[in-house]
Structures are given as C-alpha cells and as structure tokens.
Chains A and B, each alone.
Chain A
Amino acid sequence: NAGVTQTPKFRVLKTGQSMTLLCAQDMNHEYMYWYRQDPGMGLRLIHYSVGEGTTAKGEVPDGYNVSRLKKQNFLLGLESAAPSQTSVYFCASSYSGDSHSYEQYFGPGTRLTVT
C-alpha cells in the first residue's frame, strides 16, 4: 500500500496564478483532510470531507476550494494564489466511527511558495 500520496512535492507560483494539489489514498478511508503548516502556527485545518461528494470548511478555508469526486482522491485548489498561502500543505485520511482510533494518516506534504 502506498498510503497517502501528494502531488506535487514542491511548487513555486506567482501571485494570481492558480493550481491544484492532489491527494490520493489507497486505504479505503472515508474521511480526508487538508491542512497547512506554518512556522509557529502548527497544523491548521483548511477543508475536510467525510465521504465521496461531501466537503466542509475547516479553520482557515478562505482562498481555497476542494472537491471529492472519488473516494480515494481529495483535491485542493488555489484559484488566485497569494504570498500568504506560502506554506507546507498536508493531506490526511482516516477511518470513520468510534470503533477506530481516529488515527489520521498523513501524506509527505507539498511545499508551496507564492512569490
């Protein structure tokens, strides 16, 4: 199993450009998450999904959109990138329900720089 994979690993964008980050998981998890991690700020939830076709806002959703058209994929879009979106982006997935440990499985991250 590959677990959680993220594409791309690195990207540099100019202000105003758009891009999509792709997250894929092969564990048949219901839940998927997008976080950003900035120095001194910790991990902050951007958007999440509790199943195919559903998405919800997290703590810092502004400037981002997401889609979960297939259960195994969760896409994060930046329509018009801003320097404030320079960050490391992590995708995670987890099982659902109280019978599990709520353990989140993280991808390796995407380092995005917006100039």
Chain B
Amino acid sequence: SQKIEQNSEALNIQEGKTATLTCNYTNYSPAYLQWYRQDPGRGPVFLLLIRENEKEKRKERLKVTFDTTLKQSLFHITASQPADSATYLCALGNRDDKIIFGKGTRLHILP
C-alpha cells in the first residue's frame, strides 16, 4: 500500500540554523508533492508544491527538493526563527483529485 514517512521524532534546531525535514514515500508515483504547515489547534496551511519533473523549488527562506529516484523530498528552512516552530506535513498527489498526507514532523526552533 502507499506509504509516506516523515520523521516521527520532533526536530530541535537552534535559531539561525537551517532546518531540514525529510519525506520518504513507497509504492507511489506522485505527479507532485506539497508541504503544509500546521500550528496547534489550527488547520494546515499550504507552503509549496513541487512537480515530478522539478528538482528544486524555492520560496523566500524555504527550499524543497524532490528526488523521484530516491522517492524522497527534503524541506529546508534557512535562517530559522522561533516563529517557524510548527508541525510540517508532506503530501503527495496525482491527477485524481486526492492527496495523501504524511503524519508530520514537529519542528522546534530554539532561541
């Protein structure tokens, strides 16, 4: 069955450093991959999308890479700030109107 894996342990990063989150998947050939941010008690918020034919995407301090051979995406936050602390969700989709989500990784940026 389709499976998405994200770091189950929380990630603690010192303020100012780069935070790197990993999303691995199996038994799936996604047309695109998305990253969402979720704060406690709130719904997820879309951050970035990267398509299967793209290697890298950037948006301000965010960078996403997508390796369809390794079946992996890396999500980087550079110059991290305490306000970046949240849970980050990886999601995969095809053109069939549905996406599947990973369980998320909690990120703590330490001041």
Contacts and interface: CB of A to CB of B under 8 A. Distances in A.
B46 A43 contact: no
Interface in B55-109: 89, 93, 95, 97-104
A107 B43 CA distance: 6
Contacts of A50: 97
A101 B103 CA distance: 21
B43 A92 contact: yes
B45 interface: yes
A28 to B, nearest CB: 17
A90 B44 CA distance: 9
A98 B103 contact: no
A92 B23 CA distance: 22
Interface in A83-115: 90, 92, 96, 98, 101-109
B104 A42 contact: yes
A101 B44 CA distance: 15
A87 B44 CA distance: 16
Given A101-B49, A102-B93, A48 B43 contact: no
A101 B46 contact: yes
Contacts of B44: 43, 90, 104, 106
Interface string B18-50: 000000000000001010100001111110010
Given A48-B98, A58-B98, A101-B49, A106 B43 contact: yes
B34 A48 contact: no
Given A108-B43, A109-B41, A103 B49 contact: yes
A3 B15 CA distance: 32
Nearest to A4: B43
Contacts of B101: 35, 42-44
A105 B95 CA distance: 18
Contact of A105 (B42, B46, B102, B104): B46
Nearest to A97: B95
Nearest to A59: B100
A85 to B, nearest CB: 19
Q: Which 7 A-B pairs have the closest CB atoms?
A: A106-B43, A42-B103, A43-B101, A103-B46, A101-B49, A106-B44, A42-B101
